[in-house]
Amino acid sequence: MYKEKNIKVKSQHVNKFQKGYPLIFKEALSDPRLLQEEGQIINLVDGRNQFIAKGYYGRQNKGYGWVLTRDEREDIDQAFFKKKITKALNHRSHLFQDEETTAFRVFNGEGDGIGGLTIDFFDGYYLINWYSHGIYQFKQEVVEVLQQTETYKAIYEKKRFDVKGQYIEDDDFVSGERGQFPLMVKENGVNFAVYLNEGAMVGVFLDQREVRKRIRDAYSDGKNVLNMFSYTGAFSVFAAAGGASKTTSVDVANRSLAKTIEQFSINGMDHEAQDIIVEDVFKYFKYAVKKNLTFDLVILDPPSFAKSKKHTFSASKDYKDLLKDTIAITEKNGVIVASTNCSTFDMKKFKGFIDAAFKESGVNYKLLEEYSLPEDFKTIKEFKEGNYLKVVFIKKY
């Protein structure tokens, strides 16, 4: 058991924590300077020292730590971690049984009861993301639970301690049998090559599983598809699997070419029948307009923020313009899949950008369907910001 420390919450914020808000944010604390030791267990108390909630201190971009329980008698110990993680694993039992999908998230931070910690599963290889020094203090507790699972082969980790959530370069191997990379995993029958020990990004963003499936199953057959900000080309591969007449993948990063060739190849697809372009998307838009290129389906999945030589892209400021460029090269009756993982605006605001872009382009549209995080990326209603993913399928008239 760990030593607990009382920390006073300012009166105007007490109610928020009583209602279940999990993020301990600096402004809520009367004296945040009392917090010094990352991983310290803290009891949030009101002005009269009445218990509100128990959590841990861990600095990350979003705050000063996370609430773990609102039961004063519950200890934060090995048994606590075992209970939370076991519950999360059981919650994904249908995914563990699904032979067509061997990569998914098994623990999603505050959604599963422990903020600052996520765990992904890649066919027996667990990948832990630690978002603060504070949560990293509980490494032994977390690792032990995973080692006891039936499916366990090995554990890797990503340290994202930097207050901006930046990845810290390291050997990410923790325990078990070192993997042979690329590791081949499956998602709805499609193969992905995954690298768990080559920096922050492993090759696939698991939160788009439903969107990829939908693109393959309902939007790609016979279509000329453009995938912007394509990274390893995951959307392109799904579109090709769904019968796309051709896919074009555009990403500014040099690594994206080899990675995309690899993703097509491991799925038995001829990458030479596809266009894989290493270029700034903003340059590509200009090129496409000049050459009168148009597409039936355009997928837009930019980072929330990116700086390149010529451009700074910020989703909250520039998404509307990105859509206007896209509308200009989308066929009549074509579809745009607009995606963002930016947590600083919600779906309503995102739809506002979409509406403005079409209005300013003088084009009519219809919203066909929308997606947010899939069920393995569990979220809670008390923390709406946690449900960051917004994807909208839009038909252009």
**Binding residues for ligand SAH (CB under 6 A):** 205, 208, 229-232, 234-235, 250-253, 256, 280-282, 301, 303, 306, 308, 311, 313
Q: Which is nearer to ligand SAH, 132 or 230 (CB)?
A: 230
88: Cα separation from own chain's centroid: 17
Token couple for 35: 């917090």
CB atoms within 10 A of CB 97: 8
End-to-end CA distance of the chain: 62
Q: Which is nearer to ligand SAH, 101 or 132 (CB)?
A: 101
User: With contact defined as beta carbons under 8 Å apart, do 326 and 339 qualify?
Assistant: no
CB of 244 to ligand SAH, least distance (A): 15
CB of 378 to ligand SAH, least distance (A): 21
Q: Which is nearer to ligand SAH, 40 or 102 (CB)?
A: 102
User: With contact defined as beta carbons under 8 Å apart, do 116 and 66 qualify?
Assistant: yes
Q: Which is nearer to ligand SAH, 87 or 311 (CB)?
A: 311
* Distances in whole angstroms, Cα of residue 227 to Cα of each of 19, 175, 262: 42, 37, 16
Report the C-alpha gap between 120 and 154 in whole angstroms: 12
CB of 374 to ligand SAH, least distance (A): 14
CB of 203 to ligand SAH, least distance (A): 8
Residues in Cβ contact with 381 at an 8 Å cutoff, skipping those fewer than 6 apart? none
Q: Which is nearest to 256 in space by CA: 274, 279, 273?
A: 279
Q: H or E element: which one contains 307?
A: strand 305-307
> Phi-psi category of 374—alpha, beta or left, where left has phi over 0 and alpha has psi -120 to 50?
beta
Q: Write the DSSP symbol of residue 10.
A: P
CB of 286 to ligand SAH, least distance (A): 12
Q: H or E element: which one contains 340?
A: strand 330-340
CB of 232 to ligand SAH, least distance (A): 6
Q: Which is nearer to ligand SAH, 15 or 308 (CB)?
A: 308
CB of 359 to ligand SAH, least distance (A): 25
Q: Which is nearer to ligand SAH, 40 or 230 (CB)?
A: 230
Q: Which is nearer to ligand SAH, 166 or 308 (CB)?
A: 308
CB of 276 to ligand SAH, least distance (A): 12
Q: Which is nearer to ligand SAH, 98 or 280 (CB)?
A: 280
Residue count (the chain): 397
172 φ/ψ angles, rounded to the nearest 5 degrees: -90, 5
